[in-house]
Structure 1
Amino acid sequence: MKAKPEPWLHLVPRSLIRNHQLSSVDEVSARFDLSVWRRLFRGGPDDSWLARLMLKVRVAAYSEQASMWMDDEFFARVGHDLRGELATMLAGVHYLLRYQKDLGPAPRDMLERVRGAGERLKRLLDEFDNSIWLRADASRPMSIARCDAGELVRRAAVQLEGTAAARGVQISFEAEPDGVPTVEGDPELLRVALEYVLGFAILRSRDRPVQVRVSSADGMPVVTFIDEAGPVPPEPLARLLEPFGERAAIPADPVAPRRRERLGLGLAIARGILDAHGGGLTVEPSSGRTDGGAPASVADLSATGLRFTCFLGGVGRDSPTQLA
């Protein structure tokens, strides 16, 4: 499979490349040898022109990498500063609620609302921090370890117990009896990806169940989330995994319609993390079947919800969406 061209590749004149393709930083780095470039541009410009072209491409490649590093540094610094201010505010609220015994009902209710807003803001900041994964990049530092897919799902579900209970959502689990292959990856990042997908299903599913199935395909762990929160029209469904695309599929809170539990980036972040692990994320209408089979009749074609399929992949593997 041919690699996708880098954004700076336009700096290399196409008319001189002939039948060769420079499609990645690694390829260019391997060809930073004047003799190689003479053969590449046989019958073309002189050595001084080739040397300038090599320098231009090298600088462009390094600038692209530096830009990605600066993006990561920006998110890390802004998130850290905002989180510090929020922690100070919440500490004051917690102190008043715990030790100010003479608070009346109205002030206490207001402080509880501020505390709730602060906890939601913490989750939004987590989403902001993780938005560096909107652009999948396997070269970002990851703590690689052997991961058990079932354990990752359980850890994600524990983080969402409170949200599920508050919305009356019952989560059921199913796993293959013969076990599921483990995966090489960053356990925390994979948990975050699964948590965003499961969290989205929970937010859609007030007083409805969410099914979780852990299985394998082609030696790769696969986690499937199925909700029964109703269908999503084709146009919003096609954009669901894009940044802010998920907002169209989450019903407004009946008590506080303007309240946001998510920025709208979670599914796109999950896709970026899974892609960086050589996996992927897909979404499709669900007819309620958990075996992945086709509908048995025309009546089964009516979607009752959404089915999210998380391919956990493994560091060093090609994404199943790329191989398709």
Structure 2
Amino acid sequence: MDETGGPTGTEKGRIVVDADGTVVEVDAAAAALLGHPGGLLVGRSIADVLGSGTDGIAVVTAVGHELRSPLTSIRGYTSLLLSRWDRIGDADKQMMLGQINHDAERVTRLINELLDISRLETNRLTLTPRMVHLAELAVSVVSSIRATVPELTAEVDFPDDFPVVAADADKIEQVLTNLVENAVKYGSPLGLRIEGTVGASLDETDGSVAPDQADGMTRHVSVTVRDTGSGIEPEDLPRVFNRWFQRKQGRPSGSGLGLWISRGLVEAHGGRLTVESPDGEGAAFTFTLPLPGP
């Protein structure tokens, strides 16, 4: 502490969280660093608490918290396989290796999200576009998530003549994964729909008309992830894309950064990410990607 009672910048605080990521203890040093009494921080999510302090520290710590679970799983399974390989049946080996592979993919995704946060904030995000079949990508995402959520049922509905788009496949896969996982987490794993449509809209950037778009319309594809849950509370709708925001209903977990990152990735492609939630009809997240003019 300095003479005014504030943090000096060299102190380290201690925050204890439970398995659900809820803060159960905050020491005086951590409370001073975050600028809030410890009693007000207990019972809140770690992402929410860290979001009340320095953003850079909060981002790294929140993502680090998310990394702990898959890394612990990877270490546990690899240690077990190395020490008892001859005594483990083939079916169990396959299950363990499959879980290691899934957890490794999760770690990779979390690290990429951490890097994306920095790149989005500094406008240095680099895209590697190629022609992407969004319907095939959606099927792949559902299959990947079903490996850990076996009860997941999802219908992928795209027209036969749905166009391919020029996009960074890895970034769009990240967006789709975030949206489907979000639907499972806060809605229901049953009855999901991923729908693709082609449309046109007025250019909302500056009202100008491109030379090859004399009618003033820009063509785009839309992809909607629709769940069958209870929907999003009206007061939460304006905040779902805010950094650190987590809805209270469902099974909240994670860093509270997924939707914020997803919107940034879509906007970097020149598209938009929006949400609708009619009362009692679940939530529908839709992103658009532009198509070239005729």
TM-score of the superposition, structure 1-length normalised?
Answer: 0.52
The match for 1:151 is 136
Cα-to-partner distance string for 1:1-41 (whole Å, 9 max, x where unaligned): xxxxxxxxxxxxxxxxxxxxxxxxxxxxxxxxxxxxxxxxx
The match for 1:248 is 247
Structure 1 pair 156/128, CA: closer, same or farther in 2 (3 Å)? same
- 1:192 maps to which of 158, 166, 174: 174
Distance in 1, Cα, partners of 2:232 & 2:262:
20
User: How many residues were matched structurally?
Assistant: 202
| Secondary structure of 1:312's aligned partner | strand
| Secondary structure of 2:76's aligned partner | helix
Distance in 1, Cα, partners of 2:120 & 2:224:
21
The match for 1:128 is 114
Distance in 1, Cα, partners of 2:248 & 2:154:
20
The match for 1:310 is 287
How far apart are residue 100 of structure 1 and its match?
Answer: 3.4
- 1:268 maps to which of 242, 260, 272: 260
Give the letter for the 1:175 counterpart: F
Give the letter for the 1:248 counterpart: R
Structure 1 pair 207/271, CA: closer, same or farther in 2 (3 Å)? closer
Distance in 1, Cα, partners of 2:141 & 2:126:
22
The match for 1:278 is 270
Give the letter for the 1:200 counterpart: N
Structure 1 pair 91/251, CA: closer, same or farther in 2 (3 Å)? closer
Unpaired runs of at least 5, structure 2: 1-54, 88-95, 201-218
The match for 1:160 is 145
Q: Is the 1:133–1:269 contact (alpha carbons within 8 Å) kept by the matching residues of 2? A: no
Distance in 2, Cα, partners of 1:136 & 1:212:
32
Q: Is the 2:153–2:192 contact (alpha carbons within 8 Å) kept by the matching residues of 1? A: yes
| Secondary structure of 1:143's aligned partner | coil
Distance in 2, Cα, partners of 1:264 & 1:271:
13
Structure 1 pair 94/240, CA: closer, same or farther in 2 (3 Å)? same
Structure 1 pair 214/207, CA: closer, same or farther in 2 (3 Å)? closer
Alignment of 1:32-111 (within 5 A): 92-101=75-84
Q: Is the 1:133–1:272 contact (alpha carbons within 8 Å) kept by the matching residues of 2? A: no
Distance in 1, Cα, partners of 2:136 & 2:162:
11
Q: Is the 1:146–1:185 contact (alpha carbons within 8 Å) kept by the matching residues of 2? A: yes
Unpaired runs of at least 5, structure 1: 1-70, 104-111, 254-259, 287-301, 318-324
Give the letter for the 1:305 counterpart: G
Distance in 2, Cα, partners of 1:285 & 1:126:
29
Alignment of 1:280-299 (within 5 A): 280-286=272-278
Distance in 2, Cα, partners of 1:175 & 1:224:
10
Q: Is the 2:180–2:225 contact (alpha carbons within 8 Å) kept by the matching residues of 1? A: yes
How far apart are residue 158 of structure 1 and its match?
Answer: 3.0
Distance in 2, Cα, partners of 1:264 & 1:171:
24
Structure 1 pair 304/136, CA: closer, same or farther in 2 (3 Å)? farther
Distance in 1, Cα, partners of 2:288 & 2:275:
12
Q: Which is strand-richer, 1 or 2?
A: 2
Structure 1 pair 213/225, CA: closer, same or farther in 2 (3 Å)? same
| Secondary structure of 1:308's aligned partner | strand
Give the letter for the 2:270 counterpart: G
Give the letter for the 1:263 counterpart: S
How far apart are residue 91 of structure 1 and its match?
Answer: 5.6
Q: Is the 1:173–1:212 contact (alpha carbons within 8 Å) kept by the matching residues of 2? A: yes
The match for 1:217 is 199
| Secondary structure of 1:235's aligned partner | coil
Give the letter for the 1:239 counterpart: R
Q: Is the 1:205–1:228 contact (alpha carbons within 8 Å) kept by the matching residues of 2? A: yes
Distance in 2, Cα, partners of 1:273 & 1:136:
13
Structure 1 pair 221/132, CA: closer, same or farther in 2 (3 Å)? farther
The match for 1:40 is none
Structure 1 pair 147/181, CA: closer, same or farther in 2 (3 Å)? same
| Secondary structure of 2:149's aligned partner | helix
- 2:154 maps to which of 171, 188, 197: 171
Q: Which is helix-richer, 1 or 2?
A: 1
How far apart are residue 279 of structure 1 and its match?
Answer: 0.4
Distance in 1, Cα, partners of 2:158 & 2:146:
20
Please give the root-mean-square deviation of Cα atoms over the aligned residues, in Å: 3.9
Structure 1 pair 133/279, CA: closer, same or farther in 2 (3 Å)? farther
Give the letter for the 1:282 counterpart: T
Kindly report structure 1 stretches of 4+ aligned residues shifted beyond 6 Å: none
